[in-house]
Amino acid sequence: MAPEILENPSNTREEIMGATLATLLEHGYADLTIDKIGDEFAKSQSLIYHHYDGKDDLVLETLEFMLEAFRTKSIEGPVEEPRDALEEVVDQLFERSIDDDERQSMAALFELRAQATHDEAYRSHFNRSDDVFEDLIVDIVEAGIDRGVFQPCNPEGVAATLITMINGTIMRRSTSEDDEWVGDVREEIESYLEACVYAE
């Protein structure tokens, strides 16, 4: 979730997505309604009803837009410093402490993902989202092996492991204020990367 992408909307569609995201973060998915999104939107609510069929239609378009923005930004060029790049991923995703806004973003993301258990459109989005993050990490690991700074390891395995850790962290952080375990987990991830991924 990167709300800043929608902070400077360049057209009505982006304004609507910005309002959707802001409302989702404030109220959570369970309490999200189109009327509440309309309250957050500066222009006429009828524009929302004109363009979208319901709250899920709005949420899914917003998720897709943010994923695409992330993907475009992340494939800017070859990975020059694979170890720095992987450490940056770990830094960003396993922060030892997060503020209330970040926890709220994670909880919203987690609630949306739970929709994927019974809603095909959410399922398809989150499978694509896992693939995008996995490809990003696979590229980093492959670059590391090519440059000889990583051991000969399985890039897909390393990527799937980190994605699984990230998803598990989002799940637990969304449902507990206790973050003590995150520092411990992060140290274990670093031990794993030192032992099984980085070259000596």
One-letter amino acid for residue 37 of the chain: I
| CA distances, 98 to each of 70, 178, 181 (Å) | 21, 11, 13
Q: Rounded to an integer, what distance in angstroms lies between the CA atom of residue 8 and that of residue 15? A: 8
Nearest to 1 by CA among 58, 66, 54, 79: 66
| Chosen residue from 77, 99, 152, 195 binding a second copy by CB under 8 A | 195
When the beta carbons of 7 and 184 are compared against a second copy, the nearer one is 184
Is residue 91 a contact residue for a second copy (CB under 8 A)? Answer: no
When the beta carbons of 16 and 197 are compared against a second copy, the nearer one is 197
Give the DSSP per-residue string, 73-105.
HHTSS--S-HHHHHHHHHHHHS-S---HHHHHH
| Chosen residue from 46, 118, 148, 152 binding a second copy by CB under 8 A | 118
Residue 20 beta carbon to a second copy: minimum distance, rounded to whole angstroms: 18
Is residue 68 a contact residue for a second copy (CB under 8 A)? Answer: no
Task: Provide the binding-site residues for a second copy, judged by CB under 8 A.
Answer: 28, 30-31, 107-108, 110-111, 113-114, 116-118, 122-123, 126-127, 130, 134, 154, 156-158, 160-161, 163-172, 174-176, 178, 181, 184-185, 187-189, 191-192, 195-196
